[in-house]
A and B are shown apart, each in its own frame.
Chain A
Amino acid sequence: MLEGVFWSRPSEDDDARPTDPLGLDAMREELSDRLVPCLTGRTRSHEEFFWSLVFLRWGEEEEQTDEARVQRFLHWERCIKLHWARGGRDGFTGVNRARSQGAEHGAPSAFFRPLLKNQRAQGMLGAHLGPLRRLDLVSETRLALVEEGPSLIAGAGPPPNLRDQDWGSWSRAFGRAGKAYDGRFRQRLRERLGTKMPNLRAALTAVRWRQRPAWKEAARHIGDAQRPFSLLADEFCPWADLVRGLFHDLVTMSPASHAPQLPPALSTPIPRGLGRWEPLRHSLRRWRRHEADRVLADLHERVFRERGYERDLWMRWEDGRRLTYPGRASSSVVPEGSDCRWANAVRLMRPAR
């Protein structure tokens, strides 16, 4: 009788885009686009590249318009993620909802229900389409594979027929297509990434593909054009994490508590051409380490004002005191991509041993 009634709880959308109250993520993205242009913060595995290409090809075979191909891509992405979740796999976006949809009575069902609130943007398509275009594997003007794209996934076969309530047909279909994902695919993708980002490959090779971000060392080998960005990334990445954490503490701590000290201002010059860095440039001119609340409230207000959210501030500096609104703030800080895509670049470009 009370069907449809529920207590609220935070979203299961395990990969919602983090809110960026200081604009630091946007700055980092801009910096990362200079250093690692062919990857994103969410391109983490060769396999997802593989399936993205496969789903684009299947969409191309099934549909004529780009919009319909997008819908097919989202459909196939959902299906493989249900299949992965059933096999106990995790570490992919949408895993929570994939698990719950896969465990429902009558599963698996090919009826589309999104795994993420914004699956088109946050799922495999949003993460991989830009990089695939920059790698010249997908057309710039439509959703279709070009150049080496089709040959990379040769052997994946035509779009399979998935039957409802029959996990066997799903396993067979994805197993058959997945056979095309092999060492050769990974090798060719690595080569292509290296060809498109030769300076980055040279720099990573010089620092021996170390896992920990080492943009400063990489700067020596990355070329003149990218050196200033690499040096900035070395200082900015940990610095921005620290500042964002400090801001979160300030918003959530008692208004009476004393504000912690800010880290020293960035010492590396900010190169020209980074358009999103203007609010930070302004703040750095009046960077007083013992006035963390004033400095960060000012930066936050500038960023939110630019976006038209000046009435939704999480923290304000007024009459010499800090006013906070924790109810408006996100509950946690997501450090996604905080290494300027270093780890992703190493993982995807490092030669096989």
Chain B
Amino acid sequence: MPKSSRRGPESRVVKFLRGFKTALSEIWRETPGKVALVLLIFLLALATIAATSITPDFLLEWESVTYWEDNPVVVPPCWINKLGFRTPQTAQVYLQEPLYTSTNPARGEVAYTFSYNYTLDVDTPPKDIYIKVQAPILCESTPDGNTTFKLPIMVVAVERPDGIVLTPWRLPLRLQPNQTLECGGLLSEEKTTKETFDIATAVTLLQDKYNVTVPVEVVGENKTYQLYANAILRTVMRRELEGRYMTVLTIFVYPDSITVELNRDTSRLERFRSDIKGLNESISALNIRQDYKNRIISSLNLAYSNITWLIENINTATYTDYLNTLYNARGELQAVQRLALRAGIPVDIRNQIGDLVTSLSKFIDSATMTTEVLSPAVNFKALQGVYRINVSLVYLMKTPPETIKAEVGIIVKGGCYGLLGTAHKGIDVFKVLLYGTPIALAIGFITAVVSVFIGVIAGIVSGYYGGFVDEFIQRTVDVLGNIPFLPILIIIGSMVQGMYTGPLRSLYIILTYMIILIIFGWGGLAITVRAMTLSIKEEPYIEAARALGASNTRIIFKHIFPQVLMYATAVLVFRVPDAILTEAGLSVLGLRHGWPTWGSLLADARAEYRYDVWWWIFPPGIMISLTSLTFILLGLAIERIVEPRLRTL
């Protein structure tokens, strides 16, 4: 007896496995079944990979901006470069080992240099570049037995393809506000910024290398004025680099062409001229000493004719001519100003002269320092080729260690990223899709299993016992069937948004959705199963079992349940997508739960009004549809197996 009882369950397992194998080969026979099984294996593989590699902090942090800060924002996947699109590469390198160590014993300096080669092969610069550093505090003992702490200076040097070596950042690493000074303690530079970028030197280097100067035919021969003009040009270059290239992208560009315009608008000059003319008239009318009057009038006439000459020759004048004229006119007016006091000219006219001199001086200032008169425009282009980015940690030490434990991150945000690009905040679409798979399958499976289980039990109980129980269950199904389900779900969904807090909030919200789905999901099946039970109940073998004294529970589980099981399996498989679709739909509506699901990606696209980004809206929807399709096809295949029995009922 003990032997057979041990064999009993064993043979049941074998029987189950054999049945399972038969069912699989039945499903495999037709095309939909084949497609469904292949898709199912694909989904299960994805889910397994994701479930074994997912970390709790990804679940909690994936929506924070800092989690994805090294990724470029809303960029397409990198394989589009193979299709003929051209986007700059993205680089995210974290280096632990310095490439070389160079010492300078004379100065007592040691530099640990980390380097990376970035290749720019398109004519647009990347979107951003920054360096992150973590470096240790080193210690050195002095001859008198004390210890001195050595804090490093970070020097970033970029060797460009055109031979320029830019040194955009040279920053001493400092202690954090509540960090203590200790040997081996890590200092960090979170992220280099444009504020600390040495743009002035970079502009000068670019200007010298590419010989960016104002042409002589525009500026004229005067050497001083040429210096003025080139200073203006530098300002313009710097403004352009700070504006369009966010300062840091200066690393990747070169001045391609410059155009320099002299302002040919004479309205301001004409105003000066008419002011001088007005002065001339009012001073002529005055009763003052004639010799003073003559000198004043002749000076005014000189200033007047100077400006008149410039106005008449404005189209051929150089910058030198322009400035000379202004300086001459101002000289004459200043002479008038001095004479006016001696001549006893009334105070209001003296004030007029003074105002004129001041405004002319202001005009000269703006002509020599701003783009008011000389307006150059510099057009930059991305410089293609290999950039060697060297990050050196420089310590002032006599006896440096061989190597140090440091981490240097070099981040270049390009125009493409990974397998499926990124969404807002730099969210990696592929990563979310991958980790969304087990979540979706779990939500779908659990909801379907529970609701089908309840439906089957309720249906069998309803059909088998009849009477009041039957009436109660059927009327409950009726009422549930009349309630519009989605609005109720949305009401409860928005209710629970504010109800749960803490790290398990997302889980609770999703569980709530699932419970509501289960409550509304079992009704339809209960009606069908009830009908099946009613006909099975009348079969002779049930009567026989009852005559043999079998209990109701035994009859239900031994004789009725197995008959309903196959049909229930088909329904279960059909039901799996329901919860997945509902979760995604609610997310899109804005009822977020906080887990990285496919729906949440689509919800983000909707919230940001980014339906125009194909790599953001297509992949999650395709995953949802593919999963649904898998289970629909599988359901169809199973239904086909079950159908003959269904028809006999």
Task: Say whether A associates with B.
Answer: no
